[in-house]
Every structure is written in C-alpha cells, then in structure tokens.
Structure 1
Amino acid sequence: MAFIPARSSSQTTDVPPALILGAIGVVFGDIGTSPLYTLRECLKAAGGISQTNVFGIVSLILWSIIIVVTLKYVSFVMRADNDGEGGILALTALAARVAPVRLRTVLLTLGVFGAAMFYGDSMITPAISVISAVEGVELVDPHLATWVVPIALVILTGLFKLQKRGTGTVGKVFGPVMIVWFLTLAVLGLSNIARNPGILRGALPSYALNFVAHAPGTAFVVLGSVFLALTGGEALYADMGHFGKTPIRLAWLLLVLPSLILNYFGQAALVLSTPSALTQPFFSQAPGWALLPLVLLATAATIIASQAVISGAFSMTKQAVQLGLLPRIPVIHTSTHEVGQVYVPFINISLYAAVVFLVVFFRSSDNLAAAYGIAVASTMLLTTLLMYFITHCLWNWKPVATAAVIGPLAVVDAIFVASNAGKILDGGWFPLLAGGVLFTVMTTWHRGREMVVERVKSDNLPLPAFIHSLCDGSHPPPRVAGTAVFPGGVPGMTPSAFMHNLKHNGVMHETNIFLAGTTENVPHVPESEKVSVSDLGHGCYAVAARHGFMEMPNVPALLLLVQKQIPAWQYESAATSFFLARDTILATAQSKGMSLWREKLFAFMARNAAQAAEYYSLPANRVVEMGGQINL
C-alpha cells in the first residue's frame, strides 16, 4: 500500500434531520438492543439479586457507557476521521500514514486482526439479538419456548435472503422504528423508576467502586457481562462516513444514551421490587397487554441491528479487497444513487451459515452471551492502541498528554478483554476461532501478493527499456489498428500479458496502454488525481491509477480520464481490446516468505478469486485472457 499525506475533511455546521434519523436507524441498532439481555446476564454472573449487586452493577453499566462510548468514541476517537471515514481499517490506514515506517507492518497486523474480530462480531450479533427478542414469547405462553429457535431461524433466513435486494428501501423505515424503540425503552424505564426512585442513587460512581472493592473477583467476572452494554460502540465510529460526526453525536446524546440509561435503571428497580422478574427483566417491565407488541417491536429492532452489522461486513469486505487483504470477491452495487450500498454474496452466505450454526448450537441468548464480547473488546483495545499513533504522530500531542488519555483508556479496554477471556471455554472460542481463520486468510493473501510482485519484478523487464529496445530495434513487431489495454500490471514493469501477446500473436497495437493501479490509504481519490500518464513513445503509455480503499476500480471510466491527457487518442470501446494475464500460482516451498501450507492456501485463493474482467468492469466481449505461471 502507498502512504500519502492526509487530507483534511470539512465539517458542515448544518445537520439535516434526515441524517440524524438515518443515524438512529443504522448506527445504534446493536447497542440499542443490549438491554434485552445485559442486566440479566450481569446479575446471573454476580450470583443473584441483592441490593449491593443491583446498585453496583447498574452503576458499572452507567459509567462503562459514559467512559467507553461517550468519552472514548463519541468525544475522542471520532475526531480521527480518514477523509470522513471511520472503522478499524480506515483508522489503520490513517495511522500507517503518519507512523514511523518501521512500525507500519505492525500497525497493519493490528488492523487486520481488528478487522478479523469484527467479522466474528458480525456472526454473533444477528444470532443473539434476534433470539433474545423472540424469547419474549415465553412470557406470552410458556409452551412457545420450544418454538424460539425455529422462529429465530425463520426470521434470520428471511433477513439474509433479502440482502440481495439492498438496504435502500428497508433503510427508509429503520429510523422511525428505532425512534419508537428508544422512546419505548425510556418509557418502560421511567415507569419502573417511578415505583422505586431510590435506584437513581446507583448513578453515583461510589456504588460501582464499592461493588468492585467488596468482591473484586466477582466484579471481574461481572465486567464480562457489563461489556454487553457496550457492544455496538465501535459502530458509532465505523458508520461515521455514512452520516458524519455531528448527526451521530446528537442522536447519541439527545436520544440513545438517555433511553438506554433509563431502561437499565428501570430494570434494576424492577428486579429489586420483584426478584422473579430476573428471568426476563426487560420484557417484565411491560404490562401484560403490551407484552406481545413489545416482543414484535423488539424483534423489529433486532432485525435492524442485525442488518446494520451485516451491511458493515459487506462494506469492510469491499475495503479489505481494495487494500489487498482479501482476494477479488464479487461485489454487487444495490443502489444507483448510494455507492456505499453493496451486497457481497460470498460474505452473505458465509455469515448466514455461521449464524445458523450459532443459533442451533447455543440455542438461547444466555448461552450466546458467553460467546459475545471477546471479539468486540479486542477490536476496541486495538482501536485505542492505534489512536496512540494518531495523537502522537498526527495531532502532535505532547507525550504527557498522550499518556494521560491513551493510558487510562487502554487499561479500561484491557480489563474488559481480560474479563471476557474468562468466557472463552463457554463460547468465546467461536469468535476467536473465526477471527483467527480470517486473520490467517488476510495476512496470507497480503503476503502472497507481495511475493507475486517481487517475482514479477525479478522475472520481467522494466517497461520503458523494453519498449525502447523492441520498437527501436532492427525488427520491430508489426502494428495493428486499435488500442490494447493491459490492466493490473506492476508499476514500471512489463506486463506478462503483453509478453504473451507478442509471443503468440507477434504484433503490437497502434496504441498500447499499460495500466498499473494502486490503492491509497484514503477512502476516495479526487478524479483530478486518479490517473497520471507517461508517454513511452511509439504509441505506448504507462498509466498510474490511484484509488481509495472505498472505491472499486473501473477501467473504462479511467480510460475516459486518460484520454484527456493523450490529445491524439480517444477511447472507443469497439476499437479497444483488454489483455489480462491469467496466471497460475504454484506453491514450491522454495520461498522464504511463507511456509508451504500458506503458499498452497494463497494459490487456492488465487484460483478461486473473482474474474479480473468483472473486477475491473471490463466489457466481456473485448477481453482477451492469456495464461501464465508464477512459482512462489
């Protein structure tokens, strides 16, 4: 990847209400559905209901949300935008631009691991969210308990099946539904607080501190469940590029945060007065007549939460492909207006299979809660570590100021990671296993591509020198009319497809364009900076194309930009042929860069990557593929 200076992004002072509504509907679904199970799991981890436990836990939940979500993400991390974009990969790219060169590989590794953990979260969120909502039917009729898993599977199957239609249409109703959800949380909480207003004393941090001091071992275990109230906090930063900082901050401070806190305190007040409500404290807040509507509303909210994390997985996959962390995967744009709305069939079916496994294997939100947390906590800790380089290297904070902010945040994140580590054997192994597999895949693909480039540079000739010797020699090849374009080359090197064309056909086209693309560590590259043309003479041009990691390469569109820099040439699709090298990767165990099994894994991924013609948006009837072989 290339490293270029960051460009500042402008912030508008006018916030359209539609952006705030959209942020409420998309950004806060995960964290907004946490009250369905968080307090219940915390009290179970603490050993049951007592005044000390209830006051201490609700205080821990409150101050964890304030410190991690409000102070860390909303006030601090969201300042670190990469041209307006957020998320672990965007932050990694930003940190890598400003960090010392010797540390960039380490930062990339941290970012890749964080992305792998995000995929683990993407698998668990739909499962635990939907099944926890459906469990509310047990209060309507206990005989329906055996139907919880089948109903959840039907809902999830429908959700994943609808992904190919895109989120645009459904997204229009997300905001209003989530507003109703958060207002319902607030009303339910207030109604129970009114019956036991003394619970508001739990807002004092002294209750959290006393709980930890009284039973530190128990408190450490409980923190693993308290963290359930924070899952989804990373989404505030990851979705920043869709809505902007201000709409997310306003929605959080004015609606989401107050609603969540009121509901947690309302549940705490309820279990103190009615200990039997511990089985389902969230649904027990509602009167009998409102129970079924609340179950339906909760189900709708969890579907929205699941949709948000699935869409996030699609977007992250697109970024990972562009950054060279994953092989080419077919990406379908589901909207003609919003470039960010994409559908990735392979990721969709993979997530669906993982979610079905989780629901069938764990069968309840109680069991799934044990698997939840470790992946998100790891990502949050990595975000804090990356922020060190932002504050120190980009914002030029003094070491004392950097340590004063990053140090406490890192300690808090590390405590949550450690407390969630205790749940590994109970289910936390699943996201770690899934994340470990994805980390291996991404690092193998990234290193394999580097090795291929190294091999191309060692085996092929420099392009300018080769064109000069070929065309200025005593026997230049015959020329044919039209334009030949060679996409996907290594900058400065002769493409193997060009060599194969000369070898097999013995001709050169009248105009030859050698296109080498790079992905920059910015989300978008302005059109005026996308292409740079070098005239090699003899009708040959070397074109350096630059893309952001949120952009998909479109070669025909790039050629329209190229023609502006070549006055004597015009791009005509019917007169242009695109030559692609279809290289076969062979694992030889002779390289020192990777072990044999990783070489075989890379070769397998290369064989099964999406067609280059589709990836580059080339017209199918103008593509010529020429085979070759690369020995690792």
Structure 2
Amino acid sequence: MKKKVSIASLLVALGIVYGDIGTSPLYVMKSMIGVNNGYISKDLVLGGVSLVIWTLTLQTTIKYIMLTLEADNNGEGGIFSLFTLVRKKAKWLIVPALIGGATLLADGMITPPVTVTSAIEGLTLVLPIDTESIIIIVISILTVLFLLQRFGTDIIGKMFGPMMVVWFSMLMILGLNELLKYPEIIRAFNPYYGIHLLITSPESVYILGAVFLCTTGAEALYSDLGHCGKKNIRYTWVFVKICLIINYLGQGAWLILREGSVIKENPFFLIMPSWFVIPGTIIATIAAIIASQALITGSFTLVSEAIKLNLFPKLQVRYPNDDKGKIYIPAVNYLLYIGCVLLVLKFQKSENMEAAYGLAITITMLMTTLLLFEYIRCIKKKLVMSIIVLVVFMTIELGFLYANLFKFINGGYITVLIACAIIFLMYIWIYGTIIRKRYSQYVDILDYKDDFESLYEDKELPLYATNIVYLTESQNYEKIESKIMYSIFNKQPKRGKYYWFINVKVTDEPYTKAYSVKTIVPNKVFCIQFNLGFRINQKINVFLHQIIQEMVREGEVKFKPKEYMLNNSRCSVGDFKFILLKEILSNENDLSKWDSFVTSAKLTIKKITVSPAKWFGIDTSNVETEQVPIIIGERENIKLTRID
C-alpha cells in the first residue's frame, strides 16, 4: 500500500514517526557529561558530538532510512514484516524475530517515562518544583496520551505534526544560536575525534552507552512504515536530521565555551534564553508526548502482525480510521500504560531512567540486522552487500550492546525481564500450537459423502440449521479434523441443508483478500479456503455471506427463499449456525510434563484473550460452542470383571 506524498502526509509522518529519535537532544548530552560527573572537557564534548553525528549517519540514515525501509512488505514495516519476507528461507529466523519483537515492546514501556520526565524536569531551572510534583505531572500526561489512543493515530498525527515542525525548528534555532558563538565545533564532523575519544577515555564504554540514546527511535521508525509510507519518512528525515545535528552542535559549542566547569543541569535547557525556558519546556513536553506516541503506534503494529502470524495470543484489534494502516489494540494500550506508570514510580528521575534505557532496543537492532542480512542475501540476491551489512552493523551494534550491558544492574534488568516474559508468552503460544498439530487426527472428508446424505434424510432429527459452519485448520480440502466429524455425526447429530468448512490462511502479504471453494457433495458440503493478509480484519461472517450469495446467483448452491422471507432481493440463504470447538486438556494423555504444562498454559491464555467468534467476526447470536477434550496417545484399555 503506497502512501502519497503531500504536505498533510509529511506532517502526519513528523507527528507519528520522529517523536522518539527527535527528542533525543533532551537527554543525550546530559547523559554524556554525566559520565564525567559533569566536568566539561573539550575532548569529551567534541568526541561525543562526533560520535552522535556518525551514529545518526550510520545507524539511522544508512541502515534504517536507506536499507531497511527497502525491506517493506507491500508497504508494511517492522521486524515481523521483515520476518515474513524471509521466514521460508530458514526455520531458525523465527528466533531473532521473536527476540527482536519482544525487546522492542519492552523498550516501548520505558521510552514514554524517560522522554516526558526529561522534558518536565526543565521546569526546575525556573520554578521551585520537587520530584513528587514532577511524577504527578508526568503520570497525568501519560494518562491523557494513552486515553487518546482509542481515537486512532490519524487524528493524533494531524494534531502532533504541526507541533513537531515547531519542535524541530526550535532545535535548529537554539543550536544555530550557540553554533555561531563557537563555529569550531563543526570539527565534530570529523570521525577522528569520536574514535580518539573511545580509544583514550577510560570511560569510553559509558560514553558509548550515552551516545546510543541518539538513535533509539530508529526501530520504531521502521515499525511505523505502514502508517506513513517510505517516501514520507525519507523526505522528512532530511529535515529532521539537519535540525538534530545543529542542536547537538549547539549544545556542544555551549559546553566547550565552559570547559573546566562542572555542570549538573541539562545543557538542552541551559542553551535557552531565561525568558524562553518555560515555553521551551512546554514545547519539549509536547515533543516528549509525541516520542511516546511513536513507540505506542509501533507496538500496536508489532503485536497486530504477530497475532496474524500466530506468534502471539489473539487480542482484540480495532481500526479507528478508514485506513487499515492505523490500528488500536486495547490490551496492549492498557499494559503499556500500567508499565509506564510503574517505571515512573520506580525510577522517579530521568537520570535514573537513562541508566536503564537502551539495553533492550540494542538487542532489537541486532536481530533486525540478522534478518536484514538474510533479506539482502536471499531475496535481493546480493551476497557481497549482505555480508558488508552484516559485518558493519553487527560490529557497531555489538559495541553498543557491550556498552549498554553495564546498564543492566542500574535498571536495564527491568526491560530485559519484560522482554523475557513476552518471549516466554510467545514461546508458549507457538510451541503449544506445534504440540496440538503434532497429535491432531484427520480423516478423509470424501469418505463421509453418503453419511451427509443420510443425515439430511433422517427426518427424526430436527433441522439444526440451514447452514452449519465449522472452522478447520486443515488447508487440504480432502482432510478434516476427526473431532469435527464426531461433532456432526455423534455428539448431538446436526442435521443441516448445507455444511461449510472454513480455513483461514494468513499470507505473508499484508492486504491479500482471496478465497477458493471446493465442492465435496454437490449442493450440500463445501470447503472454503480464505487467503487473507496479516493486516486484514478477518470478518468471516461477512465474507461467508457474500460468497454464498454469489454461489446462489451462479447456481452452485440451489436455494429458493420462502415467500415470507425478508430481503429476497439480497439473495437470502437461510439461517446460520457456527460451531466452535473449544479444546480442554484431557487426563488421558501421554504428554511429557513440559508439553503438558505448555498445553495447559496455552489453553489458560486462550480463556483470557478474545474469543474465536469475535476474532473471526462471527455474529455471536449464531454461535454454538462445544468442549472437545484433547486426548493425546492411546486410551488405556482397562479390563473390568462383571460380578452378580
């Protein structure tokens, strides 16, 4: 799905994509001089700004803007979209996909607290405001932000876009003002100063951890590809990068002019004229809110794709706007909100959050590099280029990972634990599916042709429904789960005029909408295969009605509406009954203890996620749910002795 470029689309891209990476000047230089306990040295500042410039160039511009955005899946981005492009090449690629997705979600919980808190703390320069008051303000802002999500990212993007123009313009003006006072700072464009700092400074590891904060939003930028489009992101990045670099140069110039001083405050706010601190803080706060938005929309995209690929439990996904690229997932919204509030309460100050920030997203970037390597090698067929990409970016990111590992004990363990919990949840879901498929029993549906005829002719049974519908996991129209046949013929035999067996296959392309029909018994039993993209809302109820009405018009289904039926002009096809089989774990199984635990855990998770009826868009008034025990292995044959 290509997004057209216009003034409005560019504003939306600014409002959605660049919040995180665009607010990095709020805390990068502060974190960097904090490594030296606030003591300002020319080598530290000049080398640090040089490292920031080249990190933005190598990591953000070259890796993400130039290379990774090319790995789009029909306009969709994010690590799971990238995974769908290469997953057929090797089974092991699911590992970096799961790890990368989980760490990106974990990072989404700490980005809003650190950016909003950094912005609000600017008020301490002009107002006597304590830590408790800052915490209350931050939590209030986050509450409003998460409440706005239900209205969709389109509205948010249009609201935030113009404000981001103001924000980046402010960055440029403030930076340029200081840059003119010390033009020599432009020497930071020479990578020598950055490399020299890393080689000579005893604190180089911690400096590198601070520098990495300037590019943490690059992964969210890729995830938001489907919201804004490739061209919109690339065009706006030119403006964004210029503004960012000028501001970093300005902060560096201001600090070098105070060489030998000890500065504990945030240089971002110190370069502001005193009269501008309050309005500047307000603008910074709005930008921080937008930074949070970038991770939230990225998280929605990520989880939605994982659900459709059956890597994540099924959660309710809503589409607040007409554009399917803009989604809202209530459960993810609530969990992110709770996580953000708890992190604010735990860390309280932005400097504490910075000590934990960045570790999780470094892992995400490493996983993206692995998948990007496979994409360039296998899909683009460029072996040499893929090796260069792997070596260059793995080297850079392993260096950042090593630097960020020192943040583990300072709070980085929290995001790692969150990521591990998400990975474990996805493992339960995926492996539970593998276990069930391993032991699923299928029968040949063609063997039951006569049975369907006999069942319909059995007038002793009342008509259960005109159309009886089952969802099947079999993609072979000749095979069907034995439990479905048992439900039809043995467990309260279900006499119907038409039987429909539906399978939904999620395709690697995001917006596929196709189907095929196989007739098993003419005018009686049919198998329908839906091929739906992983971003398509699966409205099976609506789709099925449309298909059957078309089949009636084409004469494939012979149905004559009664005279008293309404909507004859719409080709009514009678009443429907959807039979959903709910699995329960039977005591009669020979699973190992671990497999039994995984299966039980998955069944428990399914109880608290969205029901199959809601997920597949089925009218709940037409649904009948039957419990089916999962019996794995042979039943024990117990011999009983009869006594009189």
When normalised by structure 1's length, the TM-score is 0.91
Residue 341 of structure 1: SS of its match in structure 2?
coil
1:620 aligns with 2:610: no
| Matched position secondary structure for 2:149 | helix
2:294 is equivalent to residue 312 of structure 1: no
Specify which of 293, 303, 308 is matched with residue 322 of structure 1. 308
Q: Does 1:35 align with 2:48?
A: no
Any idea what SS the aligned residue of 2:11 has?
Answer: helix
The 8 Å contact of residues 78 and 86 in structure 1, kept in 2 or not, is answered as: yes
Deviation at 1:310, TM superposition (A): 1.3
User: Is the alpha carbon distance of 1:82 and 1:411 closer, same or farther for their aligned partners in structure 2, counting shifts above 3 Å?
Assistant: same
The change in CA–CA distance for 1:498 and 1:168 in structure 2 (over 3 A counts) is farther
Query: Using the alignment, how far apart are the partners of 1:38 and 1:586 within structure 2?
Result: 56
Query: Cα distance 1:425–1:590, how it changes in 2: closer, same or farther (>3 A)?
Result: farther
Cα-to-partner distance string for 1:384-407 (whole Å, 9 max, x where unaligned): 111111111111113x33222321
TM superposition shift of 1:595: 4.1
Bigger CA drift: 283-292 or 155-164? 155-164
- Which letter does structure 2 place at the counterpart of 1:127? P
Q: 1:180 aligns with which of 141, 166, 182?
A: 166
The 1:436–1:197 alpha-carbon spacing in structure 2 relative to 1, beyond 3 Å, is same
Tell me which residue corresponds to 2:500: 513
User: What's the offset of the Cα at 1:258?
Assistant: 0.4
> Partner of 1:58 in structure 2?
49
Residue equivalent to 1:536: 520
Distance of 1:15 and 1:199 partners within structure 2? 35
Aligned to 2:15: 25
Q: Give the equivalent residue in structure 2 for 1:261.
A: 245
The whole-number CA distance in structure 2 between the counterparts of 1:313 and 1:282 is 29
Contact 2:582–2:625 at 8 Å: present in 1 too? yes
* Of 72, 79, 103, the match for 1:88: 79
Q: Which amino acid aligns with 1:470?
A: D
1:390 matched to 2:375: yes
Distance (Å, rounded) in 1 between the aligned partners of 2:532 and 2:482 = 20
SS at the partner of 2:315?
Answer: coil
Is the 1:533–1:565 contact (alpha carbons within 8 Å) kept by the matching residues of 2?
no
Could you tell me which of 177, 187, 205 is aligned with 1:201? 187
Asked whether the equivalents of residues 489 and 514 of structure 1 are also in contact (C-alpha less than 8 Å), the reply is no
Q: Is this contact kept in 1: 2:15–2:156, CA < 8 A?
A: no
Q: 2-side partners of 1:61 and 1:357: how far apart?
A: 30
CA shift for structure 1 position 80: 1.0
CA contact (8 A) 2:77 2:225 kept: yes
Question: In 1, distance between residues paired with 2:31 and 2:421?
Answer: 29
2:453 and 2:214 map into 1 onto residues whose CA distance is: 70
How many residues are aligned here? 607
Pick from 360, 368, 375: which aligns with 2:353? 368
Q: Which residues in structure 2 correspond to 1:45-444 (within 5 Å)?
A: 45-47=35-37, 48-97=39-88, 99=89, 103-104=90-91, 106-215=92-201, 217-253=202-238, 255-274=239-258, 275=261, 277-335=263-321, 337-398=322-383, 400-444=384-428
Letter in 2 for 1:496: K
CA offset at residue 222 of structure 1? 1.1
Deviates more, 1:85-94 or 1:494-503: 494-503
Once residues 253 and 582 of structure 2 are traced to their aligned partners in structure 1, the CA distance between those partners, rounded to angstroms, is 66
Structure 1 residues not aligned, in runs of 5+: 1-8
Residue 600 of structure 1 and its aligned partner are, at CA, apart by: 3.1
Q: Does 1:611 align with 2:601?
A: no
In the TM superposition, what is the alpha-carbon distance from 1:288 to its structure 2 partner? Answer: 1.0
Task: Report the alpha carbon displacement of residue 199 of structure 1 after superposing the two structures with TM.
Answer: 1.1
**Structure 1 CA distance for aligned equivalents of residues 348 and 431 of structure 2:** 39
The whole-number CA distance in structure 2 between the counterparts of 1:223 and 1:308 is 24
Go from structure 1 to structure 2 and tell me whether the alpha carbon gap of 1:475 and 1:313 turns closer, same or farther (over 3 Å shift): closer
Tell me which residue corresponds to 1:4: none
SS of the residue 1:445 aligns to: helix
Match of 1:579 in 2: 579
Task: Report the Cα offset of residue 565 of structure 1.
Answer: 5.0
Query: Comparing 66-75 with 570-579, which one deviates more in the overlay?
Result: 570-579
Which amino acid counterpart does residue 123 of structure 2 have in structure 1? V
Provide, for residues 309-350 of structure 1, a one-character-per-residue CA deviation record: whole Å limited to 9, x for no partner: 112212222211111112221223322x12233322221221
Deviation at 1:356, TM superposition (A): 0.9
Greater displacement, 143-152 / 420-429: 143-152
Partner of 2:639: none
Is the 8 Å Cα contact of residues 489 and 495 (structure 1) preserved in structure 2?
Answer: no
Question: Quick one: which of 448, 466, 469 aligns to 1:485?
Answer: 469
Partners of 1:559 and 1:210 lie apart in 2 by 66
CA distance in 2, matches of 1:426, 1:201: 34
From the superposition, tell whether residues 428 and 65 of structure 1 become closer, same or farther in structure 2 (CA, over 3 Å). same
For 2:67, the aligned partner's letter is: F
Secondary structure of 1:581's match?
strand
**Matched residue of 1:505: which SS?**
coil
The alignment partner of 1:351 has SS state of helix
- Aligned residue for 1:333, secondary structure, equals coil
What is the Cα deviation at residue 580 of structure 1? 1.2
Three-state SS of the structure 1 residue aligned to 2:496 is strand
Q: Deviations over 1:497-534 (max 9, x none)?
A: 55324324323311111001121222121x3xx21111
- For the residue of structure 2 that corresponds to 1:279, the secondary structure is coil
Instruction: Output one character per residue of 1:253-309: Cα deviation in whole Å (capped at 9) or x when no partner.
Output: 1x1000000111111111222445551111111111111101111111111111221
Distance in 1, matches of 2:68 and 2:487, equals 50
- Give the 3-state SS of the residue equivalent to 1:136 in structure 2: helix
Percent identity reads: 30
Cα gap change, 1:135/1:573 in structure 2, threshold over 3 Å: closer, same or farther?
Answer: farther
Supply the distance in 2 between the matched residues of 1:594 and 1:262 (Cα, whole angstroms). 56
Q: In the alignment, is residue 494 of structure 1 matched against residue 481 of structure 2? A: yes
Whether the aligned pair in 2 keeps the contact of 1:486 and 1:498 (CA below 8 Å) is no
Map 1:523-602 → 2, pairs under 5 A: 523-525=510-512, 527=513, 530-538=514-522, 539-563=524-548, 564=550, 567-568=554-555, 569=557, 572=572, 575-585=575-585, 590-591=590-591, 594-602=594-602
* TM-aligned CA deviation for residue 477 of structure 1: 5.0
* Aligned mates of 2:589, 2:414 — CA distance in 1: 31
Structure with higher Rg: it is 2
Unmatched tracts of structure 2, length 5 or more? 560-570, 633-644
Deviation string for 1:70-128 (max 9, x for gaps)?
1111111111111111100000111113x2xxx22x11121011110111111011111
Deviations 1:433-489 (A, max 9, x none): 000000010011011122223333x2x423333x32523679965584621111244
What is the Cα-based RMSD across aligned positions, in Å? 2.3
Cα distance in 2, alignment partners of residues 513 and 507 from structure 1: 13
Say whether the 8 Å CA contact 2:501–2:527 is kept in structure 1: yes
With over 3 angstroms needed to count, the CA separation of the structure-2 counterparts of 1:132 and 1:590, relative to structure 1, is farther
Q: In structure 2, what is the Cα distance between the partners aligned to 1:193 and 1:393?
A: 46
CA distance in 1, matches of 2:587, 2:534: 29
Which digits, 9 at most, give the CA deviation of each residue in 1:365-385, with x for residues without a partner?
A: 111011111111111111111
The CA deviation string for residues 217-267 of structure 1, in whole angstroms up to 9 with x for no partner, is 4222211110000010112221112222111111001x1000000111111
Give yes or no for contact 1:55–1:207 (8 Å, CA) kept in 2. yes
| Aligned counterparts of 1:223 and 1:173: Cα–Cα separation in 2 | 35
Moved over 6 A (4+): 472-476
Q: CA deviation at 1:180?
A: 0.5
Q: 1:463 — aligned with what?
A: 445
Please give the alpha-carbon distance, in whole angstroms, between the structure 2 residues aligned to 1:474 and 1:227.
68
Structure 1 residues 34 and 474: CA distance shift in structure 2, 3 A: closer
Counterpart CA distance in 1 for 2:288 and 2:242 is 19
Which amino acid is the alignment partner of residue 540 of structure 1?
A: V
Question: C-alpha displacement at 1:152, in angstroms?
Answer: 0.6
